Structure 1
Amino acid sequence: MKIRCFAKINLTLDVFSKRADGYHSLATVMQSIALHDLLTLLPSEASGIRFTCEAPDQIEVPTDSSNLVFRAAQLLWERAEQKGCASSGGLSLHLQKRVPSQAGLGGGSSDAATTLWAIQRFLRLPLSPQELHECAQELGSDVPFFLLGGTVVARGRGEQLTPLPDIPPFWLVIVKPDIGISTKWAYEALDARPDRRSHRATKRMEEAILHGDFERAMAFQCNDFEQVVFEAYPQLAWLADEMQMAGALQTHLCGSGSALYGVFADQGAALRGAELLGKRYSHVYVTHTLTRERFHQLRLMEEE
C-alpha cells in the first residue's frame, strides 16, 4: 500500500485557559490540505514492526518508539494480535517526509493517523470507527482529526471533533522559515501575557459555514498564537507582510508555527506569489485545501 498523509492548517485557533490536567482548552477550525507525506506499507517475513524514514532537507527523524508512526503501528499490531488478525510475519513501513517538521502543519500526527488507517485496512482488522478514534487519541490530541479530514471544528484538547460542511477549495502558499518554535514555549508565552485575550473566532466561523456564508467565514481567520509569536520572532511578522506583498489575500501562522500560510485568489496567483517568495526562502509550497470527499478519495494511491 502507498498512502498519502495529508497536512492541515488551522483556519482559526482560539486558546483558552489552562485546565487542571495541565492542557489548555482550545477551539479551532482545522482544514485538510493537499501537501502530504507518503507512507508505504509492505508485509515482512521478519516478525514485528520495521520502520524507515526518508526526510531530505529536514531535521533528523527518529525511527524508534519515539516516532508516532512506529507507535501507531505497534499499537495496531498489538490489537491485531489480540483479535487474531496479525500475519505470521511482520510489517515494513517507509515514510517519505514532504511536510516540513516543526511547522504547525500536523505532519507527525497525520502520519500516525494514516498509519492506523492503513494497518487496519491492510490486516482487515475489525475495529469500529470509535475504537480507531480511541487509538488515535491515545497517540495525540490532534491525531483523530486526520482520520476525518476536510473541514472540522475541534474543541477540548483538540479531540472533540465536529465535522462541518466543506469550505469551497482555495489555493495556498506555505512558507517554512529556517527557525523552529516550541509549542510549549508558545503556550507559556500566552499564559504570561497579562493582557491576553482570545479572538474567540471559531464559533463565528462555524456558524458562517453552517449557514453557507463562506465569504464571511473566511473573514474570521485568525490565530491567538500570533500575538506572542510575531512579537518574539519579528522575522515572522515581516514574512507575513512579504506574503501579502506577493499577493496573499490573508496570511496566518500555521498552528504555533513556524510556517505561515497565505490564501491566494487562484492557482496562477499562488504560483506567482511562490516564485517571488522563493527568491528569499528555501521552503515554499504551493498547495490547496481538500474537501472531505477528496481527502478520502486521494488518500490511497496504490494497493496490491
Structure 2
Amino acid sequence: MSAAKFSPAQPPTAAPASVCVRAPGKINVSLRVGPLRPDGYHSVASVYLAVSLFEEVRATVTEGPGITVTVDSDGALQVPVKDIPLGPDNLAVRAAQALAAFAENPTGVHLHITKRVPVAGGMGGGSADAAAALVACDALWNTHLSREELAGIAAGLGADVPFSLLGGTAVGLGVGDRLTPAISKTPLHWVLVASDFGLSTPGVYGALDSLREEGQLQAEEPEEVDPAILAAMRSGNAQDLASVMSNDLQAAALHLAPGLADVLSAGERLGALAGMVSGSGPTVAFLAQNAPAAAELAAALRAAGHRALAVEGPVSGARLASAVAG
C-alpha cells in the first residue's frame, strides 16, 4: 500500500493593515407600516432593494488603541457630512465596537467613511456604513465570523443593518429585521433625487401616528407584502411594478416636507413610470423603463435644478473592495 499524501498545513492568513469595503444604499419598493405597538415600535412588511449607490468604509490598523472615524463625501448627490457624529454615536463606530467583543486581539482601528448615500435620506446610509465596518473589521481582526454571525451582530445595531450586509432583494417583516431573500435577477432602473435637508426617521413615524390618530390615515397590522410586487420584481417588469409600489410613510414625509410633492410631480411629468418617497424620506425614487430612460430622466431633473442620479438594483450587499497587506 502506498503511503498517503497530505498537503502541507496552510499557515494562518496574515491580517491586512487596511481594507476597503463598499455597502449599498437601499430603496423600500414597498413599505407597509402597522400601528404603534406598546413597545414603541411599528411592525412593517417591506420589500428592500439594494441599489448601485455605495457607501465606502476604509478601515486601517492604528498603533494606539480605540476606534476613530473621519467622514468625507463624493459623488453626484453632493452629500453634506457636517452633522455626522464622529464619536461613539456614529453607527460604524458602534459596529466596530460590537465586533471587537468577538476578536481575540482587536487592534486600534481608524474608519474613514466616504458617503454617497444621502444622510437622513430614507436610504439606510448609516446602516450601510455599519455593515461595511463589520465586514472591514472582520477582515482586519481575522475574526472569521460567518455572514449569519455578522448578521446577528448587525441586528443589534439597527433594523436596516442586516439588509445592508445581505443586499439584493429581500422581504422584511417584524421591525424590518426578519429578512427573507427574494428572487429579483433582472435589473430595475431608478433615478434618485436628493434633498437639501434630512428627515428624522422617528420624526416621520411620529407624524404618521399623529395623522392616523387624527383619522386622516388608516392603520392595519401588516402580515405580508403584496404578492403582485414580488411577481413584478421577479419578472423585472417595470410597468407592472410601477402600478403597485407604495410607501405608507410617504404621506407623513409630505406632511413634514410639503415641497416633496413638487419633486414627485416633476419626475412624473418628465417621464418616470412612477415615483415615491424612499423609506422615511426625503430622498425621492423614480422608476424608469430601462437604463437609457433613467439616464434621460436624471439629466432632465438635473437641468431642472435637482440633484439627481440614475442607479440600478439589485446589487450585492457589503463586500470587500480592496486590502493592503500588513
Q: Describe the SS at the equivalent of 1:139.
A: coil
1:248 aligns with 2:272: yes
Counting only pairs closer than 5 Å after superposition, residues 214-225 of structure 1 correspond to structure 2 as 214-215=236-237, 216-217=240-241, 219-225=243-249
2:138 matches 1:120: yes
- The CA deviation string for residues 247-299 of structure 1, in whole angstroms up to 9 with x for no partner, is 211111110100101111222222221122113435222211124xxx15x83
Secondary structure at the counterpart of residue 43 of structure 1: strand
Q: Determine which of 217, 224, 228 is the counterpart of 1:196.
A: 217
Aligned to 1:71: 94
**Corresponding position of 1:278:** 302
Alignment match, 1:302:
322
Q: Percent identity?
A: 33
> Within 5 Å, which residues of 2 pair with 1:217-236?
217=241, 219-236=243-260
Which is further off, 97-106 or 274-283?
274-283
More moved, 47-56 vs 171-180: 47-56
In structure 2, the residue matched to 1:40 is: 58
**Aligned partner of residue 27 in structure 1, secondary structure:** strand
Distance in 2 between residues matched to 1:198 and 1:252, nearest whole Å: 19
Report runs of 4+ in structure 1 exceeding 4 Å deviation. 198-201
Question: What is the letter of the counterpart of residue 182 of structure 2?
Answer: L
Q: Offset at 1:34? A: 0.6
- CA distance in structure 2 between the partners assigned to 1:185 and 1:49 by the alignment: 30
- Counterparts in 2 of 1:57 and 1:7: CA distance versus 1, 3 Å: closer
Between the two proteins, the alignment pairs up a number of residues equal to 294
Asked whether the 8 Å contact 2:70–2:112 carries over to 1, the reply is: yes
Show the 5 A alignment for 1:3-14. Answer: 3-14=21-32
**Alignment match of 1:268 (pick from 256, 275, 292):** 292
TM-score (norm 2): 0.83
Matched, 1:58 2:76: no
After superposition, what is the alpha-carbon deviation per residue over 1:107-157, rounded to whole angstroms, capped at 9, x for unaligned? 000110111122112322133444322211111111111111100000111
Aligned partner of 2:152 in structure 1 is 134
2:185 is equivalent to residue 151 of structure 1: no
Read off the aligned partner of 2:90 and give its amino acid letter: N
More helix by share: 1
Paired residue type of 1:197: Q
Rounded Cα–Cα distance in structure 2 between residues aligned with 1:48 and 1:270: 44
Greater shift in the superposed pair: 60-69 or 216-225: 216-225
Question: Residues 217-272 of structure 1: CA distance to partner in whole angstroms, max 9, x if unpaired?
Answer: 55321101122333443321111110112221111111010010111122222222
**Gaps (5+ residues) in structure 1?**
none
For 2:313, the equivalent position in structure 1 comes to 289
SS of the residue 2:259 aligns to: helix
| 1:179 paired to 2:201 | no
In structure 2, the CA distance between the partners of 1:181 and 1:92, relative to structure 1 (3 Å rule), is closer
Checking the alignment, whether the CA contact within 8 Å between 2:171 and 2:179 is kept in structure 1 is yes
Per the normalisation by structure 1, the TM-score is 0.89
* 3-state DSSP of counterpart to 2:23: strand
1:229/1:50 Cα in 2 relative to 1: closer, same or farther (>3 Å)?
Answer: closer
CA separation of 1:124 and 1:3: change in aligned 2, threshold 3 A: same
| 3-state SS of paired residue (1:303) | strand
Q: Is the 8 A contact 1:204 1:217 kept in 2?
A: no
**Gap regions ≥5 residues in structure 2:** 1-18
Displacement, 1:43?
1.7
Instruction: Name the SS for the 2:152 alignment partner.
Output: helix
